[in-house]
Structure 1
């Protein structure tokens, strides 16, 4: 089932996404949740931090799972997914280290590291909620065009568009050699999937995700086949559909 919601502004969109996270925790305080790093979720994080400070959101029992990471980077590296999430969400909320599951993208054996994440997620019973942004090439996490829908955590070869767009997270030109990411099958098996998008630049990719052919060449199209997918966008990101 695909639920499509349009909000007038980014702020309204961010509050709506935060509502989904909070309602998940209210229903299941020990939920397993995956939230993305980057620019799109920053407003959602601000809202979740505010609600936490007001006593309206309790993260003390949940498990947070990191979505992806650039190969060779860790939590102290500016621009890494871990660093952005620590700064924008995990540290302000006060997550304990035992509540957090992240890829070690510096591991000597990255394939074994992906298997570690797969096993840990299986032991946790899978994801109750995953919130995602969408790439300009339709990627979800670092699942680039052509990734099998049946893929669990894996090492990803980055699309040139991802390498180019990824530079915005760094102060200077940065060589990105690859990534590790939760797989598209993790996303399909999540009990609820939320896809967020903001801004006119995302309008064509949102239109293709919800109305285009379901194909591995455009990973975000899988939302059409998810059992409980919510696509939440602001008016600008919906402009190709209105």
Structure 2
């Protein structure tokens, strides 16, 4: 892993944006998986400000809340539509989402991964890091070969979802791209900011590779860039 520790989220996002914009502007990447949530929003904004030519990209949502009405603007699909697809001027026909309705979510996430494979595999993925070490909705207990699926979320993840939706919804299940596809990405960018992420960061980087911390499976990946602020890096053994 390449680990960068910055004084705060703003310089970390700037460094990540410089590296990601350069990577996405290369001729080879065709597929990008993008995380929703708060953490990567500034990164996406900085990429848009750089105005790179990214119309060649096929963008996939990393995950989706199951049971939230698809018209809600806070779903992963709608968030990424605004902050990535429209802001980066990517054709809407090259944006792929996971359906949030219970009846459709399972077949939708399975088709999602098949589409990535049909396009030649995953080139670049942007990830946040859960406080329990999850990637997407791959909660603790997830094996490195886990496929895309519906996951029962831990109480802490459900509480974070409730806060994201301001109490309007409290999703306890998520549809997520599996660790097998995540680990197959040619380039991984992962962001973690704040003291509440420090324990997960330490387990991801210094801890043993194990199902208790799904992000720890990234330790043997050949091309992972981790962007941290000082607070998130506070528990690392080597800095």
TM-score band (shorter)? Answer: over 0.9
Q: 2:151 aligns to what? A: 156
Q: 2:175 aligns to what? A: 180
- The Cα offsets for residues 149-194 of structure 1, whole Å up to 9 and x where unpaired, read as 1012111111111000112221324231411100001111000111
Count of residues paired in the alignment: 237
Q: Is the 8 Å Cα contact of residues 64 and 101 (structure 1) preserved in structure 2?
A: yes
Q: Is the 8 Å Cα contact of residues 32 and 63 (structure 1) preserved in structure 2?
A: yes
Long gaps (5+) in structure 1: none
With normalisation by structure 1, the TM-score equals: 0.91
Higher mean alpha-carbon deviation, 2-11 vs 109-118, is at 109-118
The yes-or-no answer on 1:114 pairing with 2:109 is yes
Q: Is the 8 Å Cα contact of residues 74 and 83 (structure 1) preserved in structure 2?
A: no
The yes-or-no answer on 1:233 pairing with 2:228 is yes
Q: Is the 8 Å Cα contact of residues 24 and 31 (structure 1) preserved in structure 2?
A: no
The equivalent position to 1:131 in structure 2, one of 114, 118, 126, is 126
Q: Is the 8 Å Cα contact of residues 98 and 109 (structure 2) preserved in structure 1?
A: yes
Higher mean alpha-carbon deviation, 93-102 vs 207-216, is at 93-102
Q: 1:43 aligns to what? A: 42
How much has 1:111 moved relative to structure 2? 2.9
The 2-side partners of 1:128 and 1:28 are apart by 11
The yes-or-no answer on 1:83 pairing with 2:82 is no
| Secondary structure at 2:191 match in 1 | strand
How much has 1:107 moved relative to structure 2? 6.2
| Secondary structure at 1:116 match in 2 | helix
| Secondary structure at 1:93 match in 2 | coil
Q: Is the 8 Å Cα contact of residues 25 and 54 (structure 2) preserved in structure 1?
A: no
Matches of residues 191-206 of structure 1 in structure 2 within 5 Å? 191-206=186-201
- The Cα offsets for residues 35-85 of structure 1, whole Å up to 9 and x where unpaired, read as 211111121012111111xxxx11111111100001133552132111222
The 2-side partners of 1:30 and 1:206 are apart by 27
With normalisation by structure 2, the TM-score equals: 0.92
The equivalent position to 1:171 in structure 2, one of 158, 162, 166, is 166
Q: Is the 8 Å Cα contact of residues 78 and 170 (structure 1) preserved in structure 2?
A: no
Q: Is the 8 Å Cα contact of residues 3 and 226 (structure 2) preserved in structure 1?
A: yes
Alpha carbons of 1:30 and 1:207: their partners in 2 closer, same or farther (altered >3 Å)?
closer
Q: 1:5 aligns to what? A: 4
The 1-side partners of 2:59 and 2:104 are apart by 23
Alpha carbons of 1:103 and 1:183: their partners in 2 closer, same or farther (altered >3 Å)?
same
